[in-house]
Amino acid sequence: MTKPTWLAEIQNWIFDMDGTLTIAIHDFDEIRKELGLKNAPILEQIALLPSFQQEIILQKLHEIELNISMKNIRSDGALEILTFLKSKNLKLGILTRNTQASITETFKAIQLDGFFEDEFLIGREFVPHKPSGAGIIHLMKLWNAKPENTVMVGDFRYDLEAGKDAGCRTIYVDRSGEFPYKNLADLQITSLTELLELLQK
Ligand SMILES: [Mg+2]
């Protein structure tokens, strides 16, 4: 694969967590079933419920997610690419629809503690969630960064839509190599190892 010229300009790296730095183990259909929800995005469905019901269901979701966090497995190349980016003194952030507590548990489980400063870990508590680009814009403000020097790396449509919404570059990781949302991606890769190899070219 040829290295896109814009890649050398990227100084600000924002990663999705689940399925990007980890191997996806969330079965969202199963989670929806457990929560008694329909086949639609989970957080958006919960937001439409009366507030007393939201609290109960969010607590249940939180328990399910924490349980998953502890079983997470690090994806190929995740440690290596973060080590590489950090050695170059580049900015590193996380933007996830998961909770702050799950980020902490996940990073413990996959041993990626210490790469990210706490204020650059943007979880569910920050609204609006992806696919809004608000979380990316928030990080860019903290970093005094420009969109053309910023990239969102993720494995799902929401990650790429958030990147486009914020006006930054997008890198699409799809282990299957099928890339169903490729129209939203500036670069497609099948693993973070592949991305690291490109960066080192
Ligand atoms: Mg993901």
Instruction: Tell me the per-residue pLDDT of 152-196, one tens digit each, with 9 for 90 and over.
Output: 999 999 999 999 999 999 999 999 999 999 999 999 999 999 999
- Domain count of the fold of the chain: 2
- Ligand 1 center to 174 CA (angstroms): 10
Long-range contacts at 112-121 (CB < 8 A, ≥ 24 apart): 112/21, 112/74, 112/78, 112/79, 112/82, 115/82, 115/86, 116/92, 120/91, 120/92, 120/93, 120/94, 121/93, 121/94
- Ligand 1 center to 51 CA (angstroms): 27
- Do residues 110 and 78 lie in contact, with contact meaning Cβ atoms separated by under 8 Å? yes
- Ligand 1 center to 22 CA (angstroms): 8
Q: What is the CATH number of the domain that holds 88?
A: 3.40.50.1000
- Ligand 1 center to 63 CA (angstroms): 19
Q: Which domain holds residue 62?
A: 28-69
- Ligand 1 center to 185 CA (angstroms): 15
109 lies in a domain? yes
pLDDT score of 91: 98
Angstrom distance (rounded) from CA 2 to CA 32 = 40
pLDDT band at 110 (very low <50, low <70, confident <90, very high): very high
pLDDT, averaged across the chain: 96
pLDDT score of 114: 92
Tell me the residues surrounding ligand 1 (ion) with CB < 5 Å.
Answer: 16, 18-19, 155-156
Whether residue 34 sits in one domain with residue 18: no
111 lies in a domain? yes
Quick: pLDDT tens for 81-98.
999 999 999 999 999 999
Above 90 in pLDDT, residue 105? Answer: yes
Whether residue 195 sits in one domain with residue 150: yes
Above 90 in pLDDT, residue 75? Answer: yes
1 lies in a domain? no
- Do residues 15 and 86 lie in contact, with contact meaning Cβ atoms separated by under 8 Å? no
Angstrom distance (rounded) from CA 118 to CA 38 = 34
Whether residue 179 sits in one domain with residue 92: yes
Whether residue 181 sits in one domain with residue 101: yes
pLDDT score of 24: 82
